[in-house]
Structure 1
Amino acid sequence: MSGHGFHVHGPHDHEIEHAAHHGGKDPFQGRIAVTTAILATVGALFGYMGGATQANASLYKNNAAIKKTEASNQWNYYQAKSSKQSLQELALQLVSEEKKADVRKEIDRYKAEKAEIKEGADKLEAEARDWDHQSDEQMHLHHRWAQATTALQVSIALAAITLLTRRKWLEIGMYAVAGGGTLLGVAAALHM
């Protein structure tokens, strides 16, 4: 072990270093090395977008939970007003005739308050559904970005094997998987 730290190089790294030290006269190695660098760069961008959409999905799901809690609080308030209204309706049966008008006013007041509370609770539930929908969309995009990133990672691994074996079918496979990953990334960018 050297005093400069411990370094682990994969077969692909060794091939790139070998090409750099020996003039890199082999166009096959140069083409695969450049392709690998491009794939790694695009893969890093896709990985970033995957992380960003996952964070957005979590944030939106949290917002949905907050709105659901606020709606639940409103429904509890609505229930309390309903209970008070029910007590007033019972009181209407028990009070003297001269007090019935005041009790009816209270019943009407509770009905009006309940209607307002219901409107607010319904609005909060709609907002919660909207946040949930946005979260689901972001998770879908996250999965697309993750699939694209994984495909590019596989294509980079295929590039390393291609450099070692010099098999044309592996090179074709590498480009095919990279193309599929790129298409998945484009689909994510287009929100598909």
Structure 2
Amino acid sequence: MANVSTSYDYLFKVLLCGDCGVGKTSMLCRFISDEMNDAYIATIGVDFKLTTLEMRGKMIKLQIWDTAGQERFKALTAQYYRRAQGIMLVYDITNEQTFENTASWLRMIQENSTSDVKLMLIGNKIDNEQKRQVTTHQGQQLAKDYGMDFFEASALSSENVSEAFSTFTENILKHMQGRYKEMVGSQVSLNKLGLNDSSTKPKRESPCAC
């Protein structure tokens, strides 16, 4: 069962994207409720689930959005990219075309998300190793080229699913805390320079009472 706490320190919105049939919904259900159903229907538009994780002494609420992989829904789901702190791009290791299509998904991410969004690439269905068409090295290289975290996993067997989501959440947390420290550091520097001191601002002369 999903652990959803009413109190939390951070709320992270994470988006799942990738071709239809790569197993996004299956991975999400495996992570949230440790369930797997071969009869999942294709996601229509977007759906989301909530869970809460404890990371580095902080309570993190995850709002995980599962987006449709069909072409006709791309315009609809694009708006959700801008709101995400993290995006997980999923492909099927037994279907080379889904890996090749990551190029168009990455373009969509670059066009619609913020510049500091965290990315993870996940190769799903490693339980079906005998039908593998995409090597681990190919996935690792693509992830390296785009600065993404990388995991191979199986929604069917649950291998690496929790590890992928947990690692990604922790990396988003580190990133957000790092940004906060930079902002605080910049503010301190401005204060030291007196640039935020109102006394340094030129005073307006009082209007003459003629």
More strand by share: 2
More helix by share: 1
Relative CO higher for 1 or 2, CA cutoff 8 Å, sep ≥ 6?
A: 1
Name the TM tier (shorter chain). under 0.3
Asked which structure has the greater CA Rg, the reply is 1
